[in-house]
A and B are shown apart, each in its own frame.
Chain A
Amino acid sequence: MSAVAPVMDALDRRIINALQGGFPLSDTPYQDVAEGLGIDEATVLARLQRLLDTGVLTRFGPMFQIERLGGRFVLAAQAVPEARFEAVTALVNAFPEVAHNYRRTHRLNMWFVLATETPEAIDDVIRRIEAVTGLPVFAFPKRREFFVDMRLQA
Chain B
Amino acid sequence: MTTRPSDDLDRRLVLATQAGLPLVPRPYDVLAEQLGISPGEVRARLADMLDNGRIRRIGAVPNHYALGYTANGMSVWDVPDERIVELGEAVGRLPGVTHCYERPRALPDWPYNLFAMVHGKDRESVLAQVEEIATLLGSACRGRDVLFSTAILKKTGLRIG
Q: Which A residues fall within an 8 A CB radius of B?
A: 1-2, 4-6, 8, 16, 19-23, 25-31, 41, 45, 48-49, 51-52, 54-66, 68-71, 75, 89, 92-93, 96-106, 108, 110-112, 115-117, 138, 140-150, 152-154
Confirm or deny: B17 has a beta carbon within 8 angstroms of a beta carbon on chain A.
yes
Question: What are 24 A-B contacts with C-beta separation under 8 Å?
Answer: A1-B65, A23-B57, A27-B28, A58-B61, A59-B19, A60-B23, A60-B60, A61-B20, A62-B17, A63-B58, A64-B158, A65-B55, A75-B103, A100-B155, A101-B155, A102-B151, A103-B149, A103-B153, A111-B147, A112-B154, A140-B110, A143-B104, A145-B101, A147-B97
Q: Decide: A150 and B98 in contact? CB cutoff 8 A.
A: yes
A48, B11: Cβ atoms under 8 Å? no
Q: Which residues of A contact B69 (CB under 8 A)?
A: 152
Q: Is the interface of B mostly helix, strand, loop or mixed?
A: mixed
Contacts of A146 in B (CB 8 A): 85, 88-89, 91-92, 100-102
B contact residues around A1 at 8 Å (CB): 65, 70, 150-151
The CA-CA distance from A97 to B161 in the complex, in Å, is 9
Q: Are B89 and A4 in contact (CB under 8 A)?
A: no
Please report the C-alpha to C-alpha distance between residue A52 and residue B119 in the assembled complex, in whole angstroms: 21
Residue ranges of B at the interface with A (Cβ–Cβ < 8 Å): 6, 10-11, 13-14, 17-21, 23-29, 39, 43, 46-47, 49, 52-67, 69-70, 72, 74, 84-85, 88-89, 91-93, 97-104, 106, 109-110, 115, 119, 145, 147-161
The answer to whether B151 and A103 have CB atoms under 8 Å apart is yes
Compute the total of residue contacts between A and B using a CB distance below 8 Å. Answer: 249
Among residues of A, the one whose C-beta sits closest to the C-beta of B11 is A69
Which residue on B lies nearest to A49, using beta carbons? Answer: B23
Do A63 and B59 contact each other (CB < 8 Å), given the known contacts A106-B145, A146-B89?
yes
Q: Are B59 and A60 in contact (CB under 8 A)?
A: yes
Given the complex, which residues of A lie within 8 Å of B149, measured CB to CB? 102-104, 111
Find out whether the CB atom of B106 lies under 8 angstroms from the CB atom of A110. no
Given contacts A52-B20, A102-B153, A147-B92, contact A152 B64 (CB under 8 A): yes
Say yes or no: A111-B62 contact (C-beta < 8 A), given A28-B26, A69-B14: no
Bound CA span A92–B153, Å: 10
Q: Is the CB of B53 within 8 A of A61?
A: no
- In the complex, what's the smallest C-beta–C-beta distance from A53 to chain B, in angstroms? 11
A25, B62: Cβ atoms closer than 8 Å:
no
Known: A25-B47, A106-B145, A146-B102. A64 touches B6 (CB 8 A): no
| Bound complex: CA A48 to CA B101 (Å) | 32
**A143 and B102 alpha carbons, distance in the complex (Å):** 5
Closest Cβ of chain B to A12, distance in Å, is: 10
**How far is the CB of A126 from the nearest CB of chain B, in Å?**
13
Residue of B nearest to A21 (CB): B57
Given A27-B29, A141-B104, list of 6 further CB < 8 A pairs? A6-B66, A52-B20, A57-B60, A57-B63, A68-B6, A138-B110
